[in-house]
Amino acid sequence: MDSNTKKVLWDLAGKAGLILGLISTASMAIGQMIAILETPVLLNTLIGTVLWAAETGGCIYFMYMFMKKFAATCPEADNRMTFKMGTATAFLSALVYSTASFANLAFISADYYSTQYQILMEQMAPMMDSNTAATMEKILSDMPQISFVSNLIYCFIFGTVVSAVLSRNIPDRNPFNRHTTEQ
């Protein structure tokens, strides 16, 4: 892979990663706002499901479009190079979303999550001993870091799998095209 192709790969991966990360971040923010409105459980579940489907479908669609754009921009790109571009996009979008999730838990909505956690602890208190309660308190203090790492891993793996599936046909595999160029 020449340096121009690498430059195009990282340029497109950076743009795609930012867009995909912002889509997931917007979905997280909308879901949180809906939860704060205290809508009925059934409506909340329905809206959450539609939001999740739109986020997932949108991310897959945009990943596909950026991978196609990479293949069109770099005619020498093969399926392996397209997969690398998709993997870079997956990592960068996971980094954007994980950072936003960390900021949300640690700073932006820290009071909201702390209140929700305290309500949960009050409900669970009769079933817990002192060691379990202490462990749960420790988990609360580490939740932003746990969220960052777990989201980073999950989103990267999900994006890599999507990239692997999509890159199999980007650029298009035309067995007749290869045959005519060999003659």
Mind listing the pLDDT tens digit for each residue in 82-97?
Answer: 999 999 999 999 999 9
Select from 174, 165, 173, 163 the least CA-distant residue to 67: 163
Query: What is the distance between the alpha carbons of residues 119 and 67, in angstroms, rounded to a whole number?
Result: 45
Q: Please give the pLDDT value at position 175.
A: 62
Q: Please give the pLDDT value at position 180.
A: 45
Select from 72, 61, 51 the least CA-distant residue to 20: 61
> For residue 159, what are its two tokens?
């994006």
Q: Please give the pLDDT value at position 154.
A: 97
Q: DSSP per residue over 86-149, as a string? A: HHHHHHHHHHHHHHHHHHIIIIISHHHHHHHHHHHHHHHGGG--HHHHHHHHHHHHHHHHHHHH
Q: What is the largest CA-CA distance in the chain?
A: 79
Which sign does the torsion angle of CA 58, 24, 117, 36 carry?
negative
Q: What's the CA dihedral at 26, 150, 44, 159 to 10 degrees?
A: 60
Q: Please give the pLDDT value at position 176.
A: 67
Q: What's the CA dihedral at 155, 158, 160, 162 to 10 degrees?
A: -130
Q: Please give the pLDDT value at position 134.
A: 86
Q: Please give the pLDDT value at position 177.
A: 59
Query: What is the distance between the alpha carbons of residues 133 and 91, in angstroms, rounded to a whole number?
Result: 35
Query: What is the distance between the alpha carbons of residues 101 and 155, in angstroms, rounded to a whole number?
Result: 12
pLDDT < 50 regions, the chain:
179-183
Q: Please give the pLDDT value at position 65.
A: 97
